[in-house]
Chains A and B, each alone.
Chain A
Amino acid sequence: MSERQIQLEVLRYNPETDSAPRFQTYEVPCLNEWVVLDALNYVKDHLDPTVSYRWSCHMAVCGSCGMMVNGEPKLACKAFIHEYGDQIRVEPLANFPIERDLVTVVDDFIGKLASVKPYLIPKEDKPVSAGEYKQSPAELKTFKQYTLCINCMLCYAACPQYGLVPDFIGPAAISLAHRYNQDSRDGGREQRQEVIASHDGVWECSFVGACSEVCPKHVDPASALQQVKVASTIDWYKEHLMPWMKK
């Protein structure tokens, strides 16, 4: 295993003492097989225990260690050292306020996620004795890719619309709404449409497509949002051109 010395530039911000963030550079002896998260853990364990960042699973499942690596939204556990030069710059996820060092304030996303009701709302309640809500493999396939979202928020960091219009519900939340809307067992679309087809919903999306390019789980949020636009447009035409169709 080959060893390499890298310079890890970390954006530091201590809300108790700093008025603005600043970069601090650490010399880190890395193994070439390491990911950026390993380098950060080395700093925390051996060089500077005060560095704050979130992480948990180290295997691109928990979605905690999202950060900007050389200006690109990445999971630190999936950003391999060998893909970078000897200088690596890490910053907190863009478009989110900085709580401390690499830790961001994510309350905005959590609130938006809850607002789209990202859970099954059955069409009709059945007693347990009536058995399962059945679904064919083809019906599962329709939405399966959108179930892979790990709420890592890289898509929000990549989305310039979210940066410019912070009220935008955003890629991950709308993709998850779409995931449940597409689910054959679900009957909650009308409730979700109130949020995702609103002014701050899908119409703030201008299809930059950056969300899909940075998504570490290949969810392709941009595709979900465009499909929501198509479906919402059809709704509008039905409502205005065929009012007799309205329930």
Chain B
Amino acid sequence: MSRKPYIREMSKTNWFFSQPRYMRYMAREVTCIFILAYTILLIFALKNLADGPEAYAGFLQALNSPLGILFNLAALVGAVYHSTSWFNVTPQAMPIQRGEEFLPGNVIVGAHYGGWALISLIVLFLGV
């Protein structure tokens, strides 16, 4: 008897459409683009700030345009999805053992949300 194993080829380009869990994974990965885009925007803001008050005022005005607001909203949604999806898996990467028990996962996730809220508040007060 001869062996002739059959190999099922996996699509290199659209495999993630085959399962909802792969789609969720890709959503988590792809939303990092918004973080990158917003980082570039912040660097651009710094450049305009360095160029003087007029350049910075022009930059702020550009942000107030419908396109600027739309980009900010999209970046916010993307960044929130990206961050929360990572927060939610932190107990797997960083389990904390106390004696014979592990700290419940929701405590670790909750600490991340708490840290997020705290930093957001600090930024908010710095801006006022």
Chain B minimum-CB-distance residue to A142: B97
Complex Cα distance, B106 from A207, in Å, reads 19
Complex Cα distance, B98 from A138, in Å, reads 8
Q: Is A150 interfacial (CB-CB < 8 Å)?
A: no
The size class of the interface chain A forms with chain B is: 20 to 34
User: Across the interface, do A209 and B21 meet the contact criterion of CB distance under 8 Å?
Assistant: yes
User: Across the interface, do A226 and B21 meet the contact criterion of CB distance under 8 Å?
Assistant: no
Question: What would be 15 A-B contacts, judged by CB atoms less than 8 Å apart?
Answer: A13-B6, A16-B4, A71-B18, A97-B7, A142-B97, A164-B12, A164-B15, A206-B29, A207-B93, A209-B92, A210-B19, A222-B92, A223-B92, A223-B93, A223-B95
- Taking A16-B2, A20-B6 as contacts, is the C-beta distance between A210 and B97 under 8 angstroms? no
Give 20 new A-B contacts, CB below 8 A, not counting A97-B6, A97-B8, A99-B3: A15-B4, A21-B8, A94-B8, A95-B10, A98-B7, A98-B8, A137-B100, A138-B97, A163-B15, A206-B29, A207-B89, A207-B93, A208-B21, A208-B22, A209-B21, A209-B25, A210-B21, A226-B93, A227-B94, A229-B93
- Taking A163-B15, A206-B29, A209-B21 as contacts, is the C-beta distance between A230 and B5 under 8 angstroms? no
User: Across the interface, do B15 and A160 meet the contact criterion of CB distance under 8 Å?
Assistant: yes
Which A residues are in CB contact (< 8 Å) with B101?
Answer: 141
Number of interface residues of B (CB under 8 A): 29
Complex Cα distance, B100 from A13, in Å, reads 49
Q: Is B1 interfacial (CB-CB < 8 Å)?
A: yes
Which A residues are in CB contact (< 8 Å) with B21?
Answer: 208-210, 213
Complex Cα distance, B2 from A71, in Å, reads 29
Which B residues are in CB contact (< 8 Å) with A13?
Answer: 6
Contact of A141 among B5, B19, B97 (CB under 8 A): B97
- Interface flags, A102-119, vs B, CB<8A=1, else 0: 000100000000000000
Chain A proximity of B29: nearest CB distance (Å): 7
Q: Is B116 interfacial (CB-CB < 8 Å)?
A: no
- Interface flags, B34-62, vs A, CB<8A=1, else 0: 00000000000000000000000000000
Chain B minimum-CB-distance residue to A207: B89
Which B residues are in CB contact (< 8 Å) with A229?
Answer: 93
CB neighbors of A among B105-122 (8 A):
none
Q: Is B127 interfacial (CB-CB < 8 Å)?
A: no
Complex Cα distance, B26 from A210, in Å, reads 12
Counting chain A CB atoms within 10 Å of each CB, the highest count among B1, B15, B100 belongs to: B100
Q: Is A212 interfacial (CB-CB < 8 Å)?
A: yes
- Interface flags, A155-175, vs B, CB<8A=1, else 0: 000001001100000000000
Chain B minimum-CB-distance residue to A227: B93
Contact of A220 among B15, B92, B94 (CB under 8 A): B92
